[in-house]
Structure 1
Amino acid sequence: MKTSRRSFLAASAGTAAFSILPSPTVFARDKSATDEELNRAATRPVLDRNPFKEPVIIESIELLRKGKEHFVRVRSKDGAEGISVDDGRMNILHPILNRQVIPVFIGKDARDLEELLWEVYRHDSNYKLQGLPFWVPVALVEFAILDLLGRIANKPLGELLGGVIRKTMPFYVASGRRDTTPEQEIDYLKSLVEETGAKGIKYRVGGRMSRNADAMPGRTDKLIPLTRKTFGDKFAIHADANSSYDDPKQAIRVGRMLEDIKAEFFEEPCPFDNFDTTRQVTDALKIPIALGEQESSHWRFQAQIRDRVADIAQPDLYYYGGLIRSIRVARMAELRDMPTTPHLSGGFGFVYSAHFASCVPNIGPWQEYKQGVKTYGQWFNPPMRIVDGALTVPEGPGVGIADPKEILKGADVVKE
């Protein structure tokens, strides 16, 4: 077992002091946690119920569509409203939302949200739908209920989920391309940095669940050193293999190249559900390994953390079922001195990532971003902005959208 690894926690302890040097403090990997300790951390209440003295009974939940966007709107019997914004999958997942998820919440007290997340999992054998198709609809309902509660309490989401400890979110900008030559990818990454002011990047290596094949011959081997040469020594570089390497030896070889350029982390090097090969890579490398984007099971996340399958927990706030479940992952990871850096599936998700970053201590120094401010930034008052490579966290109540009724004007209800 190796004894040193880049420490994301040291960089993320403050509210604004994030180093951009590619040599974070190293730390020992021998901090262990038992299942009993992990269970205790995960089962502590997340939602602060104190601002709500009376029941908040949910009267209706609706899926709405406006253009290409889908929204969930929740209303209480007292007339309060909250909304959430889809990540682009409700065009195929709406039957699960409408038939299997929404009915569980109607007539229930929104203050019992944490227990309702368990009840919806059990309802009508929904656990047999375990995975993204089930948990994305649940996340949309959770986000909308949290928005409702935040508006009632006149508090941003972070205040309801542990307390706001930072008001900006330093980010890396992510490329999602593999159709580029190394030179073309460099040009594309430069354009992303120029547009966003990012001080970090993430690009894709390998071929994406490709059984060890590269996206094009020699692309990865040439791209990795070229990124450091192009962006300089003080730029934060991340790489995502998207489960490219069935053979851990291949993943380790690529990881060594990333170590040579002092990259920040290596994401999902091996098939995401093969913990054995991923741990071989983790144990062989010094660069932190990130894993968790595809995870939907609390117990598998707990095993991943307990057994140190990877170094960074990476739930997707949509795929994993929302903020509350993801905060539970972060609490478990903290016991093993591991950061939790959410995966971003795109669209409006960066807003939920910002709220997560506002209240979770162990997030790591950089969060993922995919240019959402130009589409959604003006929905907020004050507008979300990029300042010195960091996103401002919305300050308004709930998720912070200034005028939800205006956003939803002209939207149609989706029943089936």
Structure 2
Amino acid sequence: MMKSNRRKFLSTALVSGMAVAMPGYGKHRMDHSDACLESQNPKYAQLDEVLRRPVFKKELFTHPVIIESVELLRHGRKFLCRVRSKDGAEGVSVAHDMMNTFYPVFVNHLQNMFAGLDARRLDEIVEKALIYNMNYRYQPLPIGIPLATIEFAILDMMGHIAKKPTGQLIGEIHNTHVPVYQATEFRERPVEESVELIKREVEKHRAQAVKIKVGALMFMTNDLDAKGPPGRTEQIIPLIRKTFGDHMPLYADANGYYQDVNEAIRVGKLLEEHDYRYFEEPTPCYWHHGTKMVNDALSIPVAGGEQEHSIYGFRWLLANDGLEIVQPNQYYFGGMVRSMQVARMAHAMGKTCTPHLSGDFGFIYMMHFVSAIPNSGPHIEFKGYTDVPIECKTSSLRILADGTIEVPTGPGMGVTIDPDYLKKCEVVKRA
């Protein structure tokens, strides 16, 4: 597949009038040499125009929605967020499991900035939160996950006020059903055992596409010279294709393992040979030039962005054709507003957005995000269902026979958390 074809595959705390795209955008530029290079690449101007457009639809609300309180709730090892407005509206979200580690950032660095702000200015609030109280020091996950949790609760609240699903607050509805692929792990298991476990997961969830792991995780090596299980990648790539047949869409994820670009390209060629659909994160996530070198050398689309925390990072990768598929994680990246900015930039460049999924409640947020983007991939990541007791009147929240999940159409996130479960939650106080 040629590059030209695969690209088709594709408020005291607020500063009045601030650019919603990036903190201080337009005021602080890169050094002179980088600025000169940008001036020679017209894609940057296109991307900057995209970033200037607001995401949240403030116009849906005729009156201010003043946030009265933001609470962090705890139920065992689960954390939730409850947001209330001065008019009595309420929204609730479920945090990523890593909130067990990052909850002090929530209560000490974010919680207090929201009271008194007009939730209609959500774009500005989210960007200001990234730098408020020196929060830029806590990027990416320590600030991204708490911020996303608050943003999800605000979107839930605003959806109930507007009587609209979240997707309609941040875009137009393009997808009423989300086709999913089954994400799998098992990287540390022998090849034959891995294949059997992958088959079991695919059959259990009736998935019509699957993603496997290649290479090893960076922390799984025992010594400085270790390179992961010898020969495993070379065995599993063709065996998975043989197991699932010629028509099953297959994807592969290296999780940034290959620090040698030539090795990443070699593996990418093997994936091409066996008709895999994309190669995710072939080189370390922070090595943008390495990712671009792999992308330039392969015909299989290169995907990435799970660990990216900077709008500037995605901007560079898109302006320089470093990726064909962007994968912002709504939790890690600080919410849907920022993720929508990435999806819009990708769309402007003719590229695909296939968001990364994490957290057992994450598939709820993923569905609403994907519902609102026109350039979603043919399959979106799925890892399983939540154990938080919820009710949804507009979707079964289960994979259907055609391999899709129906997006809830109720207000906000379209799901109701069991009131008795919420009553058992304790409010987490500031240290």
| Fold match (TM-score > 0.5) | yes
Shift of 1:347: 1.0
Task: For 1:392-403, list aligned pairs within 5 A.
Answer: 392-403=406-417
265 and 3 in structure 1: CA distance in 2 versus 1, 3 angstrom threshold: closer
Q: What does 1:305-320 correspond to in 2, within 5 Å? A: 305-320=318-333
Hey, what's the Cα distance between the residues in 1 that align with 2:149 and 2:361? 11
Amino acid paired to 2:392: F
* Bigger Cα displacement from structure 2, 276-285 vs 379-388: 379-388
Structure 2: which amino acid aligns with 1:208? L
Which residue is equivalent to 2:65?
56
* Cα distance in 1, alignment partners of residues 285 and 54 from structure 2: 29
Aligned with residue 176 of structure 2, among 160, 167, 172: 167
- Out of 275, 286, 292, the residue aligned to residue 299 of structure 2 is 286
Aligned to 2:280: 267
The aligned residue for residue 426 of structure 2 is 412
CA 1:9–1:277 in structure 2 vs 1: closer, same or farther (change >3 Å)?
closer
Q: What's the offset of the Cα at 1:136?
A: 1.0
Residue number in structure 2 paired with 1:41: 50
Q: What are the Cα deviations for residues 146-205 of structure 1, in whole angstroms up to 9, with x where unaligned? A: 000001111100111112121110010101221211111111111111111101111111
* Aligned pairs for 1:9-408 within 5 A: 9=9, 33-209=42-218, 214-372=227-385, 375=387, 378-382=390-394, 383-387=396-400, 388-403=402-417, 405-408=419-422
Which segments of structure 1 move beyond 2 Å, counting only runs of 4 or more?
A: 2-10, 209-215, 375-379, 402-407
Distance 2:110 2:330 in 1: 17
**Contact between 1:104 and 1:119, CA under 8 Å: does it hold in 2?**
no
Q: Distance in 2 between matches of 1:294 and 1:8?
A: 24
Query: 2:378, 2:398 → 1: CA distance?
Result: 18
Q: Deviations over 1:194-232 (max 9, x none)?
A: 111101111111011268955312111100000000001
**SS at structure 2 position matched to 1:70:** strand
Q: 1:178–1:215: 8 Å Cα contact kept in structure 2? A: no
Structure 1: give runs of 5+ residues left out of the alignment: 11-31
Q: Distance in 1 between matches of 2:165 and 2:418?
A: 15
CA distance in structure 2 between the aligned counterparts of 1:106 and 1:212, rounded to whole angstroms: 52
SS of alignment partner, residue 65 of structure 1 = strand
SS in 1 for 2:174: coil
Matches of 1:245 and 1:393, distance apart in 2: 36
SS at match of 2:69: strand
Aligned residue type for 1:146:
L
Specify the code of the residue in structure 1 equivalent to 2:121.
Answer: D
Deviations 1:293-317 (A, max 9, x none): 1111111111111111111111111
Task: Give aligned pairs, total.
Answer: 393
Once the 2 structures are TM-superposed, how far is the Cα of residue 234 of structure 1 from its aligned partner? 1.0
User: Whole-Å Cα distance in 2 between the matches of residues 196 and 186 of structure 1?
Assistant: 16
Q: Identity across aligned pairs (percent)? A: 43
Closer/same/farther in 2, CA of residues 4 and 225 from structure 1, 3 Å limit:
farther
Deviations along 1:379-406, one digit per CA (max 9) or x if unpaired, are 3223312111111111211011135534
Contact map agreement 2:388 2:417 (CA 8 A) in 1:
no
2:344 is matched by which residue type in structure 1? R
In 2, the alpha carbon distance for the partners of 1:217 and 1:109 equals 56
- 1: CA distance between counterparts of 2:44 and 2:86? 41
Give the partner amino acid of 2:409.
Answer: E
Structure 1 length-normalised TM: 0.91
| Aligned-pair CA distance for 1:57 | 0.8
Distance 1:250 1:193 in 2: 29
After TM superposition, the score normalised by the length of structure 2 is: 0.88
- Quick one: structure 1 residues 111 and 407, their matched pair in 2 at CA, closer, same or farther if it must change by over 3 Å? farther
SS of residue matched to 1:50: helix
Cα distance in structure 1, aligned partners of 2:371 and 2:4: 28
> Residues 320-370 of structure 1, C-alpha deviation per residue, up to 9 Å, x if partnerless?
110010000011111211111111123111111101111100111110000
User: Which residue identity lines up with residue 329 of structure 2 in the other structure?
Assistant: D
What CA distance in whole angstroms lies between the structure 1 residues aligned with 2:362 and 2:348? 26
The 2-side partners of 1:304 and 1:394 are apart by: 33
Larger deviation: 266-275 or 399-408?
A: 399-408
C-alpha distance in 1, partners of 2:150/2:238? 43
Cα displacement string for residues 6-53 of structure 1 (whole angstroms, at most 9, x for unaligned residues): 35646xxxxxxxxxxxxxxxxxxxxx8522210110221111122311
Number of the residue aligned with 2:16: none
Instruction: Report what 2:30 is aligned to.
Output: none
Distance 1:113 1:79 in 2: 18
What one-letter code is carried by the residue in structure 2 that aligns with 1:355? H
Q: CA RMSD in A?
A: 1.8
**Please, which moves more after superposition, 399-408 or 323-332?**
399-408
Shift of 1:122: 2.4
Contact 1:38 1:335 in 2 (8 A): yes
Tell me the distance in 2 between the aligned counterparts of 1:120 and 1:377: 30
Cα distance between partner residues in 2 of 1:398 and 1:73 = 13
